Amino acid sequence: MSKPVPVPTTDTAHYWQACDGEELLYQRCGDCGHVQFYPRRSCVSCHGANMTWLPSARRGVIHSFTIVHRPPTPSFDDDAPYVVALIDLDEGYRMMMNVVGDDRASSAIGRRVRVVFEERAPGRKVPQAMLEAAP
């Protein structure tokens, strides 16, 4: 059993395609300016259907995190204990990612991270977070 591989929908195909080129995209509403993640057809704030794609600078901060000792499925057993975190990107949206890297156990609320890409399957890269050097 292997780890889940994201299957793009018609809303997210463009996003995942960009990930494969190691670019992180997010959406901004062309009508009201609202920034949102995950990608959707319409704006959750003004409900308009004029979403535009922007590239992220791929920097953010840990809003919260947990160290998972008991994975939900055996496909994550080899990773445990692993870190699941909610990352607030500098552009004003939030994503779930793993904090990866040898120093992941140093994860803490407020720590800055940068986004890297993990090749989950051929042609399918998923964004992950790595801790920036401690201040």
Partner 1 sequence: MPAEAFITGVADTPVGKLPEHNCLSMQALAARDAIANAGLAPSDIDGVLAGFSFTQPHLMLASVFCEYMGLTPAFTTAVQSGGATACTAVMLAAALVESGQCRHVLVVTGDNRLTGLPPGGAVAMLAQVGHAEFEQPYGISVPAAYALVAQRYMRDYKVSPEDLAAIAVNQRRFAAQHPHAHMRKPITVDDVMRSRPICEPLKLLDCCLVSDGAAAVVVSAREAADPSRHRIAILGTGQGHTHEHISAAPSLTHFGCEMSAQQAFARAGTIPSEIDVAEIYDSFTITLAVELESMGFFKKGEAGPAAAAGELSLTGSLPCNTHGGLLSYGHSGAAGGMFHVVEAVHQLRGQAGPRQVEGAELAFVHGDGGILSTHCSLVLGQA
What gap in Å lies between CA 89 and CA 62, rounded to an integer? 9
Q: Does 66 bind partner 1 (CB under 8 A)?
A: yes
Candidates 10, 73, 122, 133; binder of partner 1 (CB under 8 A) is 73
**Amino acid of residue 11:** D
Candidates 35, 82, 112, 117; binder of partner 1 (CB under 8 A) is 82
Q: Does 9 bind partner 1 (CB under 8 A)?
A: yes
What φ, ψ does residue 93 adopt, rounded to 5°? -135, 165
Strand segments (E) across 45-93: 51-55, 59-68, 82-89
Nearer to partner 1, 86 or 116 (CB): 86
Nearer to partner 1, 77 or 132 (CB): 77
What gap in Å lies between CA 113 and CA 75, rounded to an integer? 25
Contact code string over 12-51 relative to Zn ion, x by CB under 5 A: -----------------x-xx-x--------x-xx-x---
**Amino acid of residue 134:** A
What gap in Å lies between CA 125 and CA 8, rounded to an integer? 12
Q: Does 52 bind Zn ion (CB under 5 A)?
A: no
Own/partner contacts of 28-32, CB < 8 Å, gap of 24 or more, are 28/52, 28/54
Question: Which residues form the interface with partner 1 (CB under 8 A)?
Answer: 3-9, 12, 16, 37-38, 63-73, 76, 79, 81-82, 84-86, 94-98, 109, 120, 126
Question: Which residues form the interface with Zn ion (CB under 5 A)?
Answer: 29, 31-32, 34, 43, 45-46, 48
